[in-house]
Amino acid sequence: MAEGKSLYGTLHIVEEGIDTGSIIGAYSVDLNKNYSYLKNLCLIYKKGAQIFLEYIDELAQGYSFPFSWDVKQDLSKRTYYRTPTYQEVNQMEDLGIQLFYYSEFCEILAYYYLEKTVETFQLV
């Protein structure tokens, strides 16, 4: 996010290592610089969940997965971003990227954990 690029995500087969399994889906989400790191991250996860549910629906309808279980991921081309360190959060803030906004955090909690409808918080 600090690099100003679109945000990318992948769905992959779960294996022993982190993000090492065969990729079964890839997607991107446009970075919104008006949103915090947290809200942008939620947008990535939401898109991944939507794609995962589409795959499950296709399987339930008798379709096969649009990928091969045998095609392994080229780990030399993999990019894995972990949770930012304290120092990286400070660097992001220097670039104008907020870790989270209190209002967004409250809206996320209300929407996902308190079963409240929050019209102002829309993950689209």
> How many domains does the chain divide into?
1
Separation of alpha carbons 29 and 90, rounded Å: 24
| Residue 42, in any domain of the structure | yes
What percentage of the chain reaches a pLDDT higher than 90? 4
Residue 58: its pLDDT value, please? 83
Helix crossing, 102-113 with 37-60: angle to 10°? 30
Residue 69: its pLDDT value, please? 62
Indicate the average pLDDT of the chain. 80
10-residue mean pLDDT profile of the chain (124 residues): values are 74 82 84 88 89 86 71 78 86 88 86 65 51
| Residue 11, in any domain of the structure | yes
| Residue 85, in any domain of the structure | yes
| Residue 122, in any domain of the structure | no
Separation of alpha carbons 9 and 43, rounded Å: 10
| Residue 124, in any domain of the structure | no
| Residue 119, in any domain of the structure | no
Residue 87: its pLDDT value, please? 93
**For residue 71, which of 32, 21, 6 has the smallest C-alpha distance?**
21
In which domain, by residue range, is 93 found?
7-113
pLDDT tens-digit series, residues 12-28: 888 888 778 888 888 88
| Residue 123, in any domain of the structure | no
| pTM given for the model | 0.73
